[in-house]
Amino acid sequence: MVIGSVRDHAGVVLVKDAVLVGPGAPEIAEENLAASFESESKVAGVAYDNFIRLANEAGDEPAATIFSQSRDVEDTHAKLYREAMGHMLEERETTYYVCTVCGYVSDGILPDECPICGAKKDKFETF
């Protein structure tokens, strides 16, 4: 059952309170988290650095800033996927707070202000 969702900075729908059941469900979830961690790590470490370099070469400071913030969000997502794998193995539940402005995700702590874009805490969605 899906209780709710929100779109992240890339327009991806994040689903909260979804339940994956059936044979192999934990293994599938763990594989998906591992693949997501790898994907986010590559994007943060390669693609955005190139985008930032190109924006700087073009003298487009606003674009460079947005790409820098996006890179930082992707790096945070990679760390969250790695932590989520640990949470799953420990059977630990946590609350996530998603910045609706830039997509930053905080694990267990609602920040007063987004460390990426500066949005105030009322711009965070609880998951």
The list of the chain residues with pLDDT below 70 reads 1-30, 33, 37, 41-44
Angle at 52 between CA 43 and CA 12, to 5 degrees: 40
pLDDT at residue 103, as a whole number:
87
* CATH numbers and ranges of domains, the chain: 4-126 (1.20.1260)
Q: Which of 119, 120, 89, 94 is nearest to 107 (CA)?
A: 94
Beta strand 4-7 with 96-99: parallel, antiparallel or unpaired? unpaired
Tell me the per-residue pLDDT of 78-103, one tens digit each, with 9 for 90 and over: 788 778 777 777 777 888 899 999 88
Whether the pTM exceeds 0.85: the reply is: no
10, with CB counted inside 10 A (0-12, 13-18, 19+), is exposed
